Structure 1
């Protein structure tokens, strides 16, 4: 059992991180143009416009909540005079709302992918593996968040958070994670599996988020002048009628070329006029 704990909570996190970083670098080097969502907006846009923002914005706030909950020690919030009950109430409200938004958006996107034939045909093998895993991670996270609101609930800040921060010091405290409730362990294992598949799926496009658009200058668009010169159409009208010249416009005429004078010794015909060769 001790070896299994070490493998799950002392080796597997580093293995998942190595695959995530190395796989992303490898794909960027050999498949740079594959960093795309393979958008299917042309096939269907109404459901995509509903589920896409819900899923993405919800996921952003879920990620921010995990960063605060796992990386910020409890001593820091105590110095800011943030009580334990107030902290967990806000975590439940913000985390629960963001998690519900992400799950709802993902459900809409999955329904769209199953019901629209063109979108279903565009689903790759990696999508079929990533979507159920992503749904399982979100549902497990919602279960953990809801369980934290119960009286006498497990305080992850003294267990899971300490184990997570110990990974960065290369001294993982596997006992803390091994003593955590099963829901927390399942959530962590599913997340590590998702990070392992991340570089080989469309989720890799998250590393190419256009953050530069937030700071770039505005683009100025200038309209064409209203007094544009008249241009004849490239082809005659279908009716076959001759084109009508617009009023007030003169047609340029080419001056006639004068006849070239003939030399005096040029041959003449029977009528005595010079012949033109």
Structure 2
């Protein structure tokens, strides 16, 4: 029963909260749909941390999408054998994972240690930063340590199959039974961040100002007064 809850009920609960929460917040709290920037308090660490995090997280997300969404047989069909895939996941994924970790560590340390930034932060801000850092650490540990200690474990025959079945609404919790604890915690905490997403500053991800690319420049002119 507990296995059924963890790998069937809990993911769907998080998914429903993610969808319904976004709809509710957009309809009833759209004016607080913001990232609440603290750039005016401290800029250097924010810039470095943000750049590292965003440069790292995009390839990491793409790696998760390909690893979970594309069956290994399809990868073999296009010439990517298991050994080549493993090298890419460990070394390329590990590199961008480290970049993401470095950026998140800077951002989290900044939020907790700089007094004025901490005062501006809400409880949800502190929770999100800590949880994201925890998720990234687990992902790095699973990729670099667990894979080295248990080289025979292949998440594409267990986690990936379970995840695709989850999207198809017929997940098999037995597939997750022998998955190493580091991977399990990484997945469970990942679903938790999706459940918290609508109620935190993470909603700003959906508000990319694409109209800025084509908008006209804003001109500023001095107001000159002539002396009589």
Alignment partners' CA distance in 1, 2:143 and 2:107: 23
Number of the residue aligned with 1:167? 166
| 1:233 equivalenced with 2:222 (yes/no) | no
Q: How does 1:52-71 map to 2 (within 5 A)?
A: 52-71=50-69
Q: Compared with structure 1, are the counterparts of its residues 89 and 28 closer, same or farther at alpha carbon in structure 2 (3 Å cutoff)?
A: same
Alignment partners' CA distance in 2, 1:212 and 1:148: 43
Q: How does 1:249-268 map to 2 (within 5 A)?
A: none
User: How many Å apart are 1:102 and its aligned residue?
Assistant: 1.2
Q: Once the two structures are superposed, what CA deviation does each residue of 1:200-251 show, in whole Å capped at 9, x if it has no partner?
A: 11111112223455xx547468899xxxxxx9735x5xxxxxx5xxxxxxxx
| 1:117 equivalenced with 2:115 (yes/no) | yes
C-alpha RMSD of matched pairs (Å): 2.2
Number of the residue aligned with 2:187? 188
Conserved? CA contact 2:25–2:198, under 8 Å: yes
Alignment partners' CA distance in 2, 1:127 and 1:17: 21
Segments of structure 1 that go 5 or more residues without pairing to the other structure are 225-230, 237-242, 244-277
Q: Secondary structure at the match of 2:4?
A: helix
Q: Compared with structure 1, are the counterparts of its residues 70 and 121 closer, same or farther at alpha carbon in structure 2 (3 Å cutoff)?
A: same
Between Structure 1 and Structure 2, the one with more helix by share is: 2
Q: Once the two structures are superposed, what CA deviation does each residue of 1:14-69 show, in whole Å capped at 9, x if it has no partner?
A: 11000001001110111112221100001111111111111122122211110010
Number of the residue aligned with 1:209? 208
Higher relative contact order (CA 8 A, sep 6+): 2
Q: Secondary structure at the match of 1:88?
A: helix
Number of the residue aligned with 1:38? 36
Which 4+ runs in 1 deviate beyond 6 A?
220-224
Q: Size of the alignment, in residue pairs?
A: 226
Q: Please say which of residues 108-117 and 74-83 is displaced more in the overlay.
A: 108-117
Q: Compared with structure 1, are the counterparts of its residues 94 and 33 closer, same or farther at alpha carbon in structure 2 (3 Å cutoff)?
A: farther
Number of the residue aligned with 2:82? 84
Q: Compared with structure 1, are the counterparts of its residues 212 and 153 closer, same or farther at alpha carbon in structure 2 (3 Å cutoff)?
A: farther
Q: Secondary structure at the match of 1:105?
A: helix
Number of the residue aligned with 1:273? none
Q: Compared with structure 1, are the counterparts of its residues 174 and 40 closer, same or farther at alpha carbon in structure 2 (3 Å cutoff)?
A: same
Structure label with greater radius of gyration: 1
Q: Compared with structure 1, are the counterparts of its residues 74 and 123 closer, same or farther at alpha carbon in structure 2 (3 Å cutoff)?
A: same
Q: Secondary structure at the match of 1:233?
A: coil
Q: Once the two structures are superposed, what CA deviation does each residue of 1:56-96 show, in whole Å capped at 9, x if it has no partner?
A: 22122211110010001111111112111111101112211
TM-score by length of 1: 0.76
TM-score by length of 2: 0.91
Alignment partners' CA distance in 1, 2:3 and 2:219: 65
